[in-house]
A and B are shown apart, each in its own frame.
Chain A
Amino acid sequence: MDYLLTDEQKMIKELAHKIAEEKIRPAAAKYDISEEYPWDVLKVMAESDMFGLFIPEEYGGFATSVFNLCLATEEFSRACGGIAVCYAASALGTFPIVLFGDDEQKKKYLPDLAKGKKVAAFAITEPEAGSDASGIKTTAKKEGDHYILNGLKHFITNGGDAETYVVIAMTNKSKGARGASAFIVEKGTPGFTFGKKEDKFGIRASSTRELIFTDCKIPAKNLLSKEGMGFIVTMKTFDMSRPGVAAQALGIAQGALELAVKYVRERVQFGKPISSFQGIQWMLADMATEVEAARGLVYSTARMVDAGIKDVAKESAMAKMYASDVAMKVTVDALQLFGGYGYMKDYPIEKYVRDAKITQIYEGTNQVQRNIIALALIKEMAKI
């Protein structure tokens, strides 16, 4: 399918492809085993300006383009979903500052993030506040020109390795969701420490840690937007970042499909390559069609976001949900095509199944995405 990319978009896609093939793919298995943070690969991405794709030009980036972010994330994910998410999660941590930061905050944080000198992370999830974000217990109490943070965040991607965190905490519990606020917290702030690093099923190159706040004192000027805007910040951020997760899922699916097509052409059974069997061909045809459909949805949504269309919650949720469901199905089918070899860790395909699974879970489970989509549908109908 030709998506009529501009010259600049083609350039970004080709550059990301080159990074993926030369730097990510050869390192994927190593980081999957070691669970080390892939700093050397991120350095290459940084030197190639990839972290500038989602940051405005006046702060050292190129433009805040969700579409460009998607192109890069898709290419990276074709080679390794784990390394790709280190990159995409930095975008997630950066978007709140891009969207809601004042000029001083943007000047302070964005240039280093655009150059990839620092990595960002976004922290909302808590042990008892996953899909139900209103259950957040972390508090931020204002004292003079500071806020004091107390509480625990967990499952935070890039946690411990990121330098710049956007943290959602309650400034007024009695107001429920309207009592949450967003803060920028720097690594190294006294009272801000990290808990255990999670041992994960997939995306093992990425780090996932607890963030622990114990009387952590941050300047009041680190508040993003106003008190009570925490959930708006979160929702608007997710509207921007969900196409990125969708692109990650899309890239994982595409990568698995490519490996599967290559394998079935080489694998000989009954005296011929198994690609000659119609049963195999039909599986490939379904996989490829679903991947292309997901791509169409992801790209269209990303273009909507970049065009400045205000309400993209439904499309963002659709893209994330559909692409991740496709990724799960396509990677499992790809493994099936590899037969017994696919089940072995000597072959790269089982990792794609493990990496795909998380895309159905994080940044809102696919059940939550369906809630968002259904709610939007019902609202739209009510307006008629």
Chain B
Amino acid sequence: MNIVVCIKQVPETTEVRINPETNTLMREGVKSIINPFDMYAIEEAVRLKERFGGKVSVVTMGPPQADAALREAISMGADEGFLVCDRAFAGSDTWATSYTLAGAIKKLGGFDLIICGKQASDGDTAQVGPGISTHLNIPQVTYVKKIEEATDKSMKVERMLEEGFEIIETPLPALLTVVKEINEPRIPSLRGLMKAKSAKFITFTQKELQLDPQQIGLCGSPTQVVKIFTPPHRVGGQILTGEIPDIAKQLVDLVKAEVN
């Protein structure tokens, strides 16, 4: 089974600072790590490879120093890494990023499965995984917490919902995004670390990928960040009691009051 894992290098902190002028992430002075959710994606891919054979290719888009993330993935058992890196890709939003990553994955040739973390810990959008599958026109299953069955043609997975889970069967190739319940990422082996230290990665620039210039980087990014804030924690809520017609009336009154 040939598996592609898309990873992102993120700042190692949950308190990401935002540049108030540009509304972009401030990376300076913060240690970079692999997005924690992507660690589960790497681990699941390596486990599938150990079961079914094949190879795990890791792809990341980012600055040259993002090769540290690829190196860490290799130390955990991934076979090869690809860095998608070009000034032309700078300023990409989730649309342009998923378009660019999809272009890189096409360049890799055939694959059976793509795995992504459910979302990145910095942007928290959860859009890039689904975006890639859309650009590649393959099925997607998000928030996967368990792979129940897998063959080279299809896969049956458990998809996490707010309450409980649903079982989804998908033909392959497909894209999964995974949640932390799916596994416990391994500590790398010494052999893995040694292999990672000397690993060479292929860099894809716009020259290799030949993507539509209108769809990459800042000009390919329709998203406009107007404001960034930490949403307040959801508190309590109100439970309405009584007979159903009575509850309905209360609800209507409350909504009216809220609107006014």
A residues with a Cβ closer than 8 A to B are: 7-8, 11-12, 15, 18-19, 22-23, 44, 47-50, 52-53, 62
Contact = CB atoms under 8 A, between A and B. Distances in A.
A22 B189 contact: no
Contacts of B193: 11, 15
B197 interface: yes
A87 to B, nearest CB: 14
A62 B190 contact: yes
A52 B190 CA distance: 9
Nearest to A22: B187
Q: Please report whether the interface of chain B is mostly helix, strand, loop or mixed according to DSSP.
A: helix
Contacts of B187: 15, 18-19, 22-23, 44, 47-48
Contacts of A23: 187
Given A7-B197, A11-B197, A49 B191 contact: yes
17 contacts: A8-B194, A11-B193, A11-B194, A12-B190, A15-B190, A19-B187, A23-B187, A44-B187, A47-B186, A47-B187, A47-B189, A48-B190, A49-B189, A49-B191, A50-B190, A53-B190, A62-B190
Contacts of B188: 15, 48
Nearest to A23: B187
Interface in B171-191: 186-191
Contacts of A44: 187
A18 B193 CA distance: 13
Interface in B183-214: 186-191, 193-194, 197
Q: Please report whether the interface of chain A is mostly helix, strand, loop or mixed according to DSSP.
A: helix
- Size bracket, chain B contacts: under 10
A49 B190 contact: yes
A49 B193 CA distance: 10
Given A19-B187, A48-B187, A52-B190, 9 more contacts: A8-B194, A15-B188, A47-B186, A48-B189, A49-B189, A49-B190, A49-B191, A53-B190, A62-B190
10 A-B pairs with the lowest CB-CB distances in the bound complex, closest first = A49-B190, A49-B189, A48-B189, A11-B193, A48-B187, A49-B191, A18-B187, A19-B187, A44-B187, A15-B190
A333 B187 CA distance: 34
Nearest to B196: A11
Contacts of B190: 11-12, 15, 48-50, 52-53, 62
Contacts of A15: 187-188, 190, 193
B172 to A, nearest CB: 29
A11 B189 CA distance: 10
A326 B191 CA distance: 34
Contacts of A50: 190
B230 to A, nearest CB: 28
A19 B187 CA distance: 7
Contacts of B197: 7, 11
A17 to B, nearest CB: 11
A117 to B, nearest CB: 14
Contacts of A48: 187-190
Contacts of B191: 49
B48 to A, nearest CB: 17
A361 B253 CA distance: 79
A19 B197 CA distance: 19
Nearest to B193: A11
A11 B191 CA distance: 10
B33 to A, nearest CB: 13
A19 B191 CA distance: 15
B74 to A, nearest CB: 13
A265 to B, nearest CB: 22
B90 to A, nearest CB: 32
